[in-house]
Structure 1
């Protein structure tokens, strides 16, 4: 993610794998228990398991001894019995289960959903795009978020004799993107893991004072990032992301622990300064190390609020590989980089980007209510043509939508009477529809679409998204579910509609798409 010189962490192929145990039988089980405790990540101290004599550390020490006694003793006594391996397996599983029970969930647990939660696509590039590029992608690409490097010793977008860098990245640029609806992901790229071989600025791996030098450097980097963020007009409570590239050896204790202590200092300082913390890394390196530390030595390190993980499986979602990270960790607080260093063209503008999918602050939230007229049912798979004399639940739905959008003041009794006929004709006349007095597909489509016309992409949520989905379903796109959150399925239907009408088939709902729906074009 650090630009063209950065290693591209390939998830399961990453060099920073967990320790693999190859021995069979009781030796394998014993070493699995050894690894469980050795990967606890607690800085060493005179108490053995470290952490300043944490209660969790002492408990782990007792369980460690119990594990060795149980497994080794059981193996010695039952070495010649056919059931030996089964009993050893049961003992090991029991010990591991006790460990999991005694250790509470740490800061990486799922966060509460917030009203401003968001789900959707994001991209990042080596340099911040120009204003013209951002404008072109705003209305034609699926992306709602953009990662921008705001500084750090290892940020690759720097001015040189042949490359101007990103001189346009200033407070005005930031304000314009935010006003346009972009969600910014500001990234800071400073020192990398101490055992990394590709970078010049490395975290100090000196273990003195529980890696005090690494902690201090993390805090200093956070202070510098906040100063730059404030210069750019990024307000307090924004998330600042630290880019810790993968490709380093997480089994190297000093390298791993110093990186964890650095990130802990980064997060602590950001919180003190009123900002939120995010960490980018490979799922099998930095994020794996963070989750293991939070699981096996909770409280020893301050965990980031969000994680952004490189796992190039090509799937635009926020699923995470349980081989590396617990499924419950940072649930609703993730960004998944699923494709790297790819060329993309939208609105006639080409950029080389990484593709990401976000779910932040619990993800996009549907409207609290999807009702229009109390308990009157509104959502159906199809909307039939109705005419004077029609009766039933769908006629009552028509009355409801007319009351909401066409000044109908009659009863909601399910009867297509003169009052309904007048309201339908008036609506058709005002929206350039054929004035037939019948509620046909075009009339249903226009009725549901009436209202404000904001730009909508995947992840947009609220009443406008709900109106869009109902209008699309009335227009014949039956697979669209009226949830109030724009999904990939909704965007696909929008794209098909745009193709059918001769509009730019972007899947982004802009003013021209709204206009077509509000005039019953389908």
Structure 2
């Protein structure tokens, strides 16, 4: 059972730790928006998956983000006689996931809204001092969360997410206002300690209350930098219902939990998870330009077979690709002459393609895909995404849009390609998939 005197002592101790941290040089403000924005899929489970489970899902699931419960009085993943909890969740586990490319979303679950009687730890609804007790508790929880984040090796600037479960009565003034003051204290303390603030709640309860307060009484509460809202409409997007939250609020800084408590199997590993779609730090960024070799266009609706005597923009694109791959030094004049034939033949020989001197489908695919072979899913962006999308287009996947950010259309085309060449059709671009593209398999 929860012990109230123990809670008071804990709050005082943590507040003292918070003050000590501030005196020893905590950052004065939240970190700036990260440069590696991400738009894509995430999941969270009751407990952090094991390393083996994460490895299996890395190369077979659509997810790039993973929500992890790192602590708090109401965190459900606790060791029992029959459940080990998550003893593997340590700095090594976090470092491995981050190195593999996972976006780790650390979640803290402490006291809940005062009118949520089903929880054993509640926010103090006393309105004295403009809900000073709630504010103090929010700051204390933030300090404890930062301490745990540091134990796990999460860097400064990481968003720490507070889980305020929905379903509470937003019409109850003391319940709503004490929750808002608590979350304001949470955000203020995180900013002072060099972290960003995130809040998870239902779209119609906690997130609605935050946005409504910011709209009607701007500046009264310090707002979180990012929000994670439960709205089980089954749509993998970050759209919001304006009856609950203004369309522009937290644009580019949202996570949408669109499906709850579902069992999913990837790579032969089954987990019970919540499904989420996120757009954080402005989302995955498009490349500045789609042109290459100065101002040469590479993207066309189709890539027909080219041969001696061919002319036009597609030949210029071929010349550019050959130049980028070190096989051509001539002009980008759009003329398929002897120098182009020689460069194509050399490229084909060096990459185990049929030596015809003609730019056929396999040659186009290989030229576009040439380079490193990073793991890619929805949200992966940049030069590698362009190479992937262009290689798929050259293979005949006309539904793919060449934009420089992997989307659902791209991964569906990847799965079709994988099935056609005998690979597991996961839609995840693995090193084996890159090899198939780079050798012109079709």
Match for residue 360 of structure 1? 280
Deviations 1:82-102 (A, max 9, x none): xxxxxxxxxxxxxxxxxxxxx
Deviation at 1:113, TM superposition (A): 7.4
Q: Is the 8 A contact 1:191 1:203 kept in 2?
A: yes
CA RMSD of aligned residues (A): 1.1
Match for residue 239 of structure 1? 159
Match for residue 364 of structure 2? 444
Specify the SS of the correspondent of 1:362: coil
Deviation at 1:257, TM superposition (A): 0.1
Deviations 1:218-262 (A, max 9, x none): 000000000000000001100000000001000000000000000
Match for residue 67 of structure 2? 147
Deviation at 1:408, TM superposition (A): 0.4
Structure 1: distance between partners of 2:50 and 2:77: 13
Equivalent of 1:462, from 376, 382, 389? 382
Q: Is the 8 A contact 1:189 1:244 kept in 2?
A: yes
Deviations 1:176-228 (A, max 9, x none): 11111110000000000000121010000000000000000000000000000
Deviations 1:116-164 (A, max 9, x none): 1111100000000000000000000000000000000000000111111
Structure 2: distance between partners of 1:316 and 1:203: 32
Matched, 1:477 2:397: yes
Match for residue 425 of structure 1? 345
Structure 2: distance between partners of 1:216 and 1:112: 25
Equivalent of 1:489, from 388, 400, 409? 409
Deviation at 1:308, TM superposition (A): 0.0
Match for residue 121 of structure 1? 41
Structure 2: distance between partners of 1:332 and 1:184: 18
Deviation at 1:112, TM superposition (A): 9.6
Structure 2: distance between partners of 1:512 and 1:426: 24
Match for residue 34 of structure 1? none
* Structure 1: unaligned runs, 5 residues or longer: 1-110
* Structure 2: unaligned runs, 5 residues or longer: 1-30
Match for residue 92 of structure 1? none
Match for residue 331 of structure 1? 251
Structure 2: distance between partners of 1:302 and 1:381: 50
Match for residue 306 of structure 1? 226
Structure 1: distance between partners of 2:32 and 2:142: 25
Match for residue 57 of structure 1? none
Match for residue 209 of structure 1? 129
Match for residue 83 of structure 2? 163
Structure 2: distance between partners of 1:114 and 1:200: 36
Structure 2: distance between partners of 1:374 and 1:194: 62
Matched, 1:253 2:178: no
Deviations 1:475-500 (A, max 9, x none): 00011111000000000000000011
Specify the SS of the correspondent of 1:267: helix
Match for residue 344 of structure 1? 264
- 1:15-164 correspondence to structure 2 within 5 Å: 115-164=35-84
Structure 2: distance between partners of 1:414 and 1:282: 57
Match for residue 115 of structure 2? 195
Specify the SS of the correspondent of 2:80: coil
Structure with higher Rg: it is 1
Equivalent of 2:207, from 258, 283, 287? 287
What is the total number of aligned residue pairs between the two structures?
Answer: 412
Structure 1: distance between partners of 2:35 and 2:165: 32
Structure 1: distance between partners of 2:236 and 2:181: 31
Deviations 1:468-522 (A, max 9, x none): 0000000000111110000000000000000111101110001000000000012
Deviation at 1:369, TM superposition (A): 2.4
Q: Is the 8 A contact 1:112 1:362 kept in 2?
A: no
Change (3 A) 1:339 1:191: same
Specify the SS of the correspondent of 2:78: coil
Specify the SS of the correspondent of 1:277: strand
Structure 1: distance between partners of 2:208 and 2:70: 25
Specify the SS of the correspondent of 1:494: helix
Specify the SS of the correspondent of 2:93: helix
Deviations 1:283-329 (A, max 9, x none): 00000000000000000000000000000000000001111000000
Structure 2: distance between partners of 1:447 and 1:406: 11
Change (3 A) 1:160 1:247: same
Specify the SS of the correspondent of 1:357: strand
Give the TM-score normalised by the residue count of structure 2.
0.92
Give the TM-score normalised by the residue count of structure 1.
0.78
Structure 1: distance between partners of 2:168 and 2:376: 40
Change (3 A) 1:112 1:314: farther
Q: Is the 8 A contact 2:312 2:335 kept in 1?
A: yes
Deviation at 1:376, TM superposition (A): 1.6
Q: Is the 8 A contact 1:217 1:262 kept in 2?
A: yes
Q: Is the 8 A contact 2:184 2:222 kept in 1?
A: yes
Structure 2: distance between partners of 1:376 and 1:231: 50
Q: Is the 8 A contact 2:159 2:197 kept in 1?
A: yes
